[in-house]
A and B are shown apart, each in its own frame.
Chain A
Amino acid sequence: MLKAMGLGSAEELFDSIPEDLRLKRPLNTPAALSEIELLDRFEQMGARNAGARRVSFMGGGAYSHYIPTIVDHILSRSEFFTAYTPYQPEIAQGTLQTIFEFQTLVCQLTGMEVANASMYDGSTALAEAVLMAERVTKRSKVVASAATHPQYLEVIRTYVQHAGIHLELAPFDERSGQSWEALAGAIDDSTAALVVQSPNFFGCIEDLAALADAAHAKGALLVVAITEAMSLGLLKSPGACGADIVVAEGQSFGVPLSFGGPYVGLFATREKYARQIPGRLVGEAYDKKGRRGFVLTLATREQHIRREKATSNICTNEGLIALAATVYLETMGRRGVQEAALQCAQKAAYTARAIAKLSGYSLPFTGPYFNEFVVRGPGRAVELLSRLGKEKGIEGGIALSRFMSDRPNDFLVCVTETNSREQIDALLEALSEDNKS
């Protein structure tokens, strides 16, 4: 290659860099490892992640659900795994079809009319929904539930802080753990949207129908965010309750925890707002021979055509992760997802009721829940959970003090279909023992 370029050495490639700025010794990097040594090195590093091997009752935005082996099997196909931005209709019909199926599944789950090809994750999908509500209503105030995931609220703040949108919070009720009543009461004629997470950060289910009515009465939109997508397998869909925009974190469907990502944001709305949605959209069409095919559509929303007037600056989607969710949902089917969701709810109810009976422990919120609930312990939750982890190999939940300083003894417990009765009983025993000592 050097010869073809007419050069004598690789050093000559750097001729344009001044002599006195060039490094004159080899880089200080370790020597290459053999495959045996390399695998060993990574196994040792992985083994240090003790939490990954413990029984987990953690939720709070990312959930442990079973992933059927078929998901990985299909994802690993090189046509899916290695393709870069495969959206040209003339050669990527397979990919475009899977995305169309994904969009269809999202509509079916959320009860909405149109869904996009996915966003980065639930939090950014929610922020984009807020921006969209402002565009649709041309109003600049948004009221969000204070029981929305604190990190989701942070992301919204980041997005709106220079966009001329004013974000207000409506408090949650200290008894029920729900915020829908305060949220419905906080609306006025200058509100673009009410934003609610359901089940909320404390696991409590909110009254979406009441919120939809309150929002629509004032010409505002209802934006519903869902962190635990599996809840859609059991609860009435937000669409059926009157939501205008539904966003969710899709990680619960066939996506591993992976230390926080990559995950996948779901984004769905009513057809009348289709031109205001961000992100890619796959549409169904017919070629000149009348054969059904798929193609990216309504591209005039996007920045490469509309520039600063685009609905968003996003110009991508989470293709591979959305595919994982699609394979999961199509493998499980409607009944499979309902069954998994039912098991989550039943196991969570069993766990919560049993914990409430333990001396020293209580459930501070009375609102209905799906698979997450808050437990109040006898002492500081951070220390309790640390003991459970180190001494019993159980990750008992998430200490709320990580997010709120006025709840030192509260922790969020999540139960999924992957938690066996033995695991739950072991948690109960560990909590009971911990209080005695």
Chain B
Amino acid sequence: MANVPEDLHYSKDHEWVRVDGDQAIIGITDYAQNSLGDVVYVELPKASEEFAANEPFGSVESVKAVSEVFTPIAGTVVKINEALADEPESVNSDPYGEGWMIRLKMSNPGEVDSLLTAAEYEDFTKAESE
């Protein structure tokens, strides 16, 4: 059973969002990392790059495949997780902590309200696995 922290927001593309003031931290969920397999490389954007909601900001490469990662909300990148360059496996071992990918300054903080809650996301993944 995948871990789905209560205090986060979720997207149907299996990203999570943690709100921190007017900024948001984004990564992929435990369900996603489990489906991907061992992560060997994470491609991240550069700071100050801007993204619209649901735009791909990078990709995650596992031994099986490459998957794009989308930002559920619009914003400008203020920081990326540089540690992932040397330790991409953090995405597998700690997807909500050490495996965080980017920190955005939100263009439209209200967008977070249209994302899934932990319970909604859990139901969504259950339906997907059936």
Contacts and interface: CB of A to CB of B under 8 A. Distances in A.
Contacts of A306: 66
Contacts of B61: 300
Contacts of B65: 300, 305
Chain A interface secondary structure, helix, strand, loop or mixed?
Answer: helix
Interface residues of B, number: 5
A305 B65 CA distance: 7
B69 to A, nearest CB: 13
Contacts of A407: none
Residue picked from A275, A300, A305, A306, most chain B C-beta under 10 Å: A300
B41 interface: yes
A305 B66 contact: yes
A198 B105 CA distance: 47
Interface in B23-45: 41, 43
With most chain A CB atoms within 10 A of its CB, the pick from B41, B43, B61 is B61
Interface string B52-93: 000000000100011000000000000000000000000000
Nearest to A275: B41
B29 to A, nearest CB: 22
Contacts of B43: 275
Interface in A191-231: none
Contacts of A275: 41, 43
Interface of B: 41, 43, 61, 65-66
9 contacts: A275-B41, A275-B43, A300-B41, A300-B61, A300-B65, A300-B66, A305-B65, A305-B66, A306-B66
Would you list the 8 A-B pairs with minimal beta carbon distance, nearest first? A300-B66, A300-B61, A306-B66, A305-B66, A305-B65, A275-B41, A300-B65, A300-B41
Given A275-B41, A300-B41, 7 more contacts: A275-B43, A300-B61, A300-B65, A300-B66, A305-B65, A305-B66, A306-B66
